[in-house]
Amino acid sequence: MAVSDLYSEIILEHYKEPHNVGELDCPEVFAKGYNESCGDDIKIYAQIKNGKVEEIKFKGKGCAISQSSASMMTDLMYGKTIDEAKEFIKQFTKKITGEEDFPSDSDEWFELSALKGVIKFPVRVKCASLSWHTLLQGIKEFENKNELKQ
């Protein structure tokens, strides 16, 4: 099996049986994202407890790239602090745009490496990063809302 076949298999697995699909009642983090170039849309819901992502779900429709990326992202965000989540999103953005390479020796990045083929197709980069940008938007709104309460 070629590496590209393995990557395609990972993307299709997450597309056919995505993880963490659904909604959360009264989420502390909520954001909607839409990709005008292809019509992908996504909603991200997250609960934060003690400064960490306790639960995260997504709901959306779109291509295999956008939906599998959202599935992988939600898996990786569990247990991360807000700052860790923001840093991971920043690192993912650098990698999916080709600014940095995906690490080959990291379990955390293994499945995400399946998405690196989209780097050659800038329109598809938007598909892969939609859920990540949407989560970041939701986190920023959450932080702003909590700053206003203090």
Domain ranges of the chain: 3-149
Do the Cβ atoms of 108 and 79 come closer than 8 Å? no
Residue 3 is predicted with a pLDDT of 44
Residue 49 is predicted with a pLDDT of 94
DSSP 119: G
Cα dihedral value 89, 91, 93, 99, nearest 10: 170
Please report, for the chain, how many H helices and E strands are present, in that order.
5, 3
- Which segments of the chain have a pLDDT < 50? 1, 3, 6
Residue 38 is predicted with a pLDDT of 84
Label the pairing between strands 29-34 and 52-61.
Answer: unpaired
Q: 105-119 b/e with 16+ CB inside 10 Å = b?
A: eeeebebbbbbbbbb
Nearest to 136 by CA among 76, 100, 82: 82
Pick the CATH number of 3-149 from 3.40.50.720, 3.40.630.30, 3.90.1010.10, 1.10.10.10: 3.90.1010.10
Residue 37 is predicted with a pLDDT of 83
Measured from the Cβ of residue 81, the count of other Cβ atoms closer than 10 Å reads 13
Distance (Å, whole) CA 101 – CA 93: 11
Q: What is the C-alpha radius of gyration for the chain, rounded to an integer number of angstroms?
A: 15
Residue 64 is predicted with a pLDDT of 92
Residue 6 is predicted with a pLDDT of 43
Quote the pTM value: 0.92
Per residue in 48-74, pLDDT tens? Answer: 999 999 999 999 999 999 999 999 999
